[in-house]
């Protein structure tokens, strides 16, 4: 099975995960900016990875459209973010915002916890995160998810781990 990893990375976390996946699967890799329909047609599997942005997988619509137009490769998706994997409700909400009900059943998707990097974040994203931190700080009677979120977005951190790619790698290997 000929596979390619396509990734969109702003702060480096998704790129790192994409490179780990490529090392494990010995497949091709390219950036979101460099992918086009004719290129996708050469592959049996497109593995798309990006950050969570505004509650959904950033850039996924373009990739789904490209794959659909080619009508050949299978699509698999991974998303990276600072949300703890244990906050399953939030992760489920991201998938529901990114996929239709049918796509949720058909497209394998994986969440890979990474972190936050304020130093590499764009000004707008940094402002949004700092504003959220202030809102959470002022809120009384926080839920446990809100407490966890407040702690997680206070400073830059990196908890990415190669182990998070293993379920995706195993899924690909089972497809062969």
Clarify whether residues 145 and 170 are in a common domain.
no
Here the CATH number for the domain that contains residue 109 is 3.40.50.360
Clarify whether residues 81 and 148 are in a common domain.
no
The pLDDT value recorded for residue 158 is 95
Clarify whether residues 91 and 137 are in a common domain.
no
pTM summary value? 0.91
Q: Model confidence at 72, in pLDDT bands (50, 70, 90)? A: confident
Clarify whether residues 77 and 104 are in a common domain.
yes
Which residue's structure tokens are 């959904």? 56
Clarify whether residues 50 and 127 are in a common domain.
no
Domain with 139 in it:
118-155
Closest of 91, 86, 6, 95 to residue 45, by C-alpha: 6
How many independent structural domains does the chain possess? 2
């Amino acid at each position: 099975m000929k596979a390619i990893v396509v990734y969109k990375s702003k702060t480096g976390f998704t790129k790192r995960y994409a490179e780990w996946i490529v090392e494990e699967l010995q497949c091709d890799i390219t950036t979101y900016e460099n992918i086009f329909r004719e290129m996708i047609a050469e592959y049996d599997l497109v593995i798309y990875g990006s950050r969570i942005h505004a509650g959904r997988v950033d850039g996924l619509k373009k990739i789904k459209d490209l794959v659909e137009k080619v009508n050949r490769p299978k699509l698999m998706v991974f998303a990276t973010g600072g949300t703890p994997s244990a906050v399953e409700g939030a992760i489920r909400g991201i998938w529901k915002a990114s996929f239709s009900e049918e796509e949720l059943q058909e497209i394998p998707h994986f969440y890979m916890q990474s972190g936050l990097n304020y130093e590499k974040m764009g000004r707008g994203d940094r402002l949004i995160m700092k504003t959220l931190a202030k809102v959470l700080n002022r809120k009384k009677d926080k839920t446990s998810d809100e407490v966890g979120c407040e702690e997680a977005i206070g400073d830059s951190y990196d908890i990415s781990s190669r182990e998070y790619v293993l379920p995706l790698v195993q899924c690909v290997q089972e497809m062969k």
